[in-house]
A and B are shown apart, each in its own frame.
Chain A
Amino acid sequence: GESVGLHLPTLSVQEGDNSIINCAYSNSASDYFIWYKQESGKGPQFIIDIRSNMDKRQGQRVTVLLNKTVKHLSLQIAATQPGDSAVYFCAENPSVGNMLTFGGGTRLMVKP
């Protein structure tokens, strides 16, 4: 759960395009994964979640894909809008209890 570096990777997309944000998680025993969105000056907000017994889950304009073989999680945002500009974090629940371990985060910038 420790941060992966001093600088967040940045994904820059054109408004209306689809965005794909990737995350590698650390614990093969994790059974629950969440994507959070953090806008500037705010705390993280829940976007979508997925359990380890699923490989895909869809929400409104967002889809989360889970590949347990390679411990990889992705968030797809359809028709990206300027309001989607934020930092996106994946989080996993690696053990019992309500703890979350956060991944390194990706900054999404949407160009009008």
Chain B
Amino acid sequence: SAVISQKPSRDICQRGTSLTIQCQVDSQVTMMFWYRQQPGQSLTLIATANQGSEATYESGFVIDKFPISRPNLTFSTLTVSNMSPEDSSIYLCSVPAGRPYEQYFGPGTRLTVT
């Protein structure tokens, strides 16, 4: 199984600022996924990040708000830009696992925007 770490584990930020979340995997993977989990809710896919190409965003998410970098096969960043309290969520990265469609998840980054 892949070991995934995220930094920071949590942060409290002021509205209008931006936060970059890092995701590190202990093995090389082609695809990485970024999810948002709003308080008390399920996971919603933000985007899929492939190394060497632009991220593919899901409906309702745009690159200007959630820019993603994927500089190599073990690392990705998600930036939450111009934050508002509605961006308070847990942000999770994941990678494909061995079973079809299964994913390994990182521990998440808990973001609170005040």
Contacts and interface: CB of A to CB of B under 8 A. Distances in A.
- A and B are interacting partners: yes
Interface of A: 1-8, 32, 34, 41-46, 49, 89, 91, 93, 98-105
Given A89-B42, A98-B31, A44 B101 contact: no
A89 B43 contact: yes
Given A41-B107, A43-B4, A103 B101 contact: no
Interface stretch (B11-19, B64-72, B79-87, B90-98): B90-98
A8 B103 CA distance: 22
**For this complex, into which size category does the number of interface residues on chain B fall?**
20 to 34
Contacts of A102: 42-44
A44 B107 contact: no
Given A32-B101, A42-B108, 10 more contacts: A3-B42, A4-B42, A32-B100, A43-B105, A43-B106, A49-B101, A102-B42, A102-B43, A103-B42, A104-B42
Task: Give chain A's interface secondary structure class.
Answer: loop
- Of the candidates B42, B44, B105, B107, the one having the most CB atoms from chain A within 10 angstroms of its own CB is B42
22 contacts: A2-B44, A4-B42, A5-B41, A6-B41, A7-B40, A8-B41, A34-B102, A43-B4, A43-B94, A43-B105, A43-B107, A43-B108, A44-B105, A45-B105, A46-B102, A49-B101, A98-B31, A99-B45, A102-B42, A102-B43, A102-B44, A103-B42
User: Which 3 pairs from chain A and chain B are nearest by CB?
Assistant: A43-B105, A3-B41, A93-B101
A100 B42 contact: no
B76 to A, nearest CB: 15
Contact of A3 (B38, B96, B99): B38
A49 B99 contact: yes
A1 B36 CA distance: 12
